[in-house]
Amino acid sequence: MTISTAQIKELREKTGVGIMDCKTALNECDGDIEKSIEYLRKKGIATAKKRGGRATSQGQVRAYIHAGGKIGVLVEVNCETDFTGKTDDFTGFVKDLAMQIAATNPITIDREGIPEAMLDKEREIYATQAKESGKPDKVIDKIVEGKLKKFYSEACLLEQPFVKNGDITVQDLLNDLMAKTGENILVRRFARYQLGDSEE
């Protein structure tokens, strides 16, 4: 089938992907724009994951101040190239991330950042709660795992529902950006300050 210039232009505007990649996607998906977007997302995420080992020394550090100066956030997000680090999409992502952290107060970026002692304590609390509510022993492990999943979705930034759209997680948002840029993008670190909080 023949792909029109208008179709390529539309797909390019929706995805920010290069002309040749848009043409390939449209050919692969019989000119269907929605399927082509999905095709490019999958391809872009796959490419970015392949580049996972590549250095991410560019990017941005952003600050966000909320609630009349009562909450402040600093966040660093890295990418591979200076070009990507200066794009509106990248800047928007970093700003959204800072706002997310201010609103939800995550403990860490991902599961790897949660101390084992904290997880053990959470497991113990959930198991005790389940036992005390009269649940049989054989279902306690399942209950504990279910509650841990919820704990991760609150404690880990990447697993949290995105504050601007609860249907997706922060990880989904990151995947979209990696698909669009074709680069490995890493949420490096963050710090959140709340007025009056005592040091741990």
Q: Are 156 and 106 in contact (CB under 8 A)?
A: yes
Instruction: Return the pLDDT at 117.
Output: 92
Start-end of CATH 1.10.8.10 domains in the chain: 5-52
Pick among 3.40.630.30, 3.40.640.10, 1.10.287.130, 3.30.479.20: CATH of 56-110+156-194: 3.30.479.20
Instruction: Return the pLDDT at 52.
Output: 56
Instruction: Return the pLDDT at 46.
Output: 54
Start-end of CATH 3.30.479.20 domains in the chain: 56-110+156-194
Instruction: Return the pLDDT at 200.
Output: 47
First vs last C-alpha separation in the chain: 63
User: In the sheet that 186-194 helps form, which strands lie side by side, from edge to edge?
Assistant: 58-66, 71-79, 186-194
pLDDT of the chain, 200 residues: tens digit per residue: 788 989 888 887 777 667 778 888 899 999 998 898 888 877 765 555 555 566 667 999 999 998 789 999 999 999 988 999 999 999 999 999 999 999 999 999 999 899 999 999 999 999 999 888 888 888 888 999 999 999 999 999 999 999 999 999 999 999 999 888 888 899 999 999 999 876 54
Instruction: Return the pLDDT at 48.
Output: 59
Q: Residue 11's closest CA among 22, 24, 27? A: 22
Instruction: Return the pLDDT at 71.
Output: 94
Start-end of CATH 1.10.286 domains in the chain: 115-154
Instruction: Return the pLDDT at 50.
Output: 59
Q: Tell me the Cα Rg of the chain.
A: 21
5-52 falls under which CATH superfamily? Ubiquitin-associated (UBA) domain (1.10.8.10)
pTM reported for the whole predicted model: 0.70
Q: What is the CATH number of domain 115-154?
A: 1.10.286
pLDDT tens-digit map of 89-144? 999 999 999 999 999 999 999 998 999 999 999 999 999 998 888 888 888 889 99
